[in-house]
Amino acid sequence: MTAPAPRKGARRAADLPPETLAALNEGHIASATLPEILAIDQARLLRAAFPGLPAAIDEQARAACQLGIAARMARMGALLLQALGPGAVSACQAHASDTVRGWACFAIGAQELPLRERLQATRSLADDPHFGVREWAWLAQRPHLARELDAAIALLAEWTASPSERLRRFASEALRPRGVWCAHIAALKADPARALPLLAPLRADPSAYAQDSVSNWLNDAAKDQPAWVRALCAQWLESSDAAATRRICQRATRSLK
């Protein structure tokens, strides 16, 4: 099958041309927008990507398509792990479809792994060129990171020195107090200072991608601990005149009156 010509991506799933949707469902092209990600028939994509799976897996995949998107992705990753074992991760990572690579994130998430090993297995997915895979990477690991919060903060602090802006962003994004499409982390809502080993190294990050995550992290925290966020931003601004720090602090306090 020949992939359609490059496109900007639809703003709504209903706007997708049939040939684009077919190419997405067959795994021939990557999604360009969130509506495209949401429109994919993941059961059909699973059959196209892994045609030899047992019929029982196919039936469970069809049932999973009735779930919300994050639960759907998690279920697909778990089904592949069930069918293929740990080799499901490498099989998914090699695929052209960002959704299939996203299943790799959740196949890792479905395994019982030591925290350092879990993060190492996720590293290349957290650094994936596709925005969607990078989101699935932190969403899949967040529950595990939250359960071992201090250990996770210590390990992710190492990522804040990575040359990759994507990995630096993961270090902040994975443990936002509130986040998007995920459960809140009550411990960080109550005591956001526990995450300073992640935030402080990124306070003048040159990448807008990482800056946005830090500012969104602090904006989350400001909903529960506004005085702490104000004080931290004042401290950062007093000690640095970097444009990046000013931008982070401006965005961090955008919800405060």
**At residue 252, does pLDDT exceed 80?**
yes
**At residue 5, does pLDDT exceed 90?**
no
Whole-number pLDDT of residue 180: 85
DSSP secondary structure code for residue 6 in this structure? P
**At residue 254, does pLDDT exceed 60?**
yes
Sequence-distant (≥ 6) Cβ neighbours of residue 245 within 8 angstroms:
203, 204, 236, 237
Whole-number pLDDT of residue 42: 97
Sequence-distant (≥ 6) Cβ neighbours of residue 164 within 8 angstroms:
127
Angle between helices 226-239 and 243-252 (to 10 degrees): 170
> Distance (Å, rounded) from C-alpha 248 to C-alpha 191?
20
**At residue 133, does pLDDT exceed 80?**
yes
Whole-number pLDDT of residue 152: 98
Sequence-distant (≥ 6) Cβ neighbours of residue 25 within 8 angstroms:
40, 41, 44, 45, 48
Whole-number pLDDT of residue 2: 32
The pLDDT tens digits of the residues spanning 147-194 come to 999 999 999 999 999 999 999 999 999 999 998 889 999 999 999 999
**At residue 11, does pLDDT exceed 70?**
no
Mean pLDDT of 187-215: 98
Whole-number pLDDT of residue 9: 56
Whole-number pLDDT of residue 38: 95
Mean pLDDT of 44-73: 96
Q: Which of 9-13, 79-83, 149-153, 181-185 shows the lowest per-residue confidence on average (mean pLDDT)?
A: 9-13
**At residue 4, does pLDDT exceed 50?**
no
Q: Which of 181, 6, 175, 37 is nearest to 99 (CA)?
A: 37
Average model confidence (pLDDT) across the chain: 94
**At residue 91, does pLDDT exceed 70?**
yes
> 211 falls in which pLDDT band (50, 70, 90)?
very high
Whole-number pLDDT of residue 241: 87
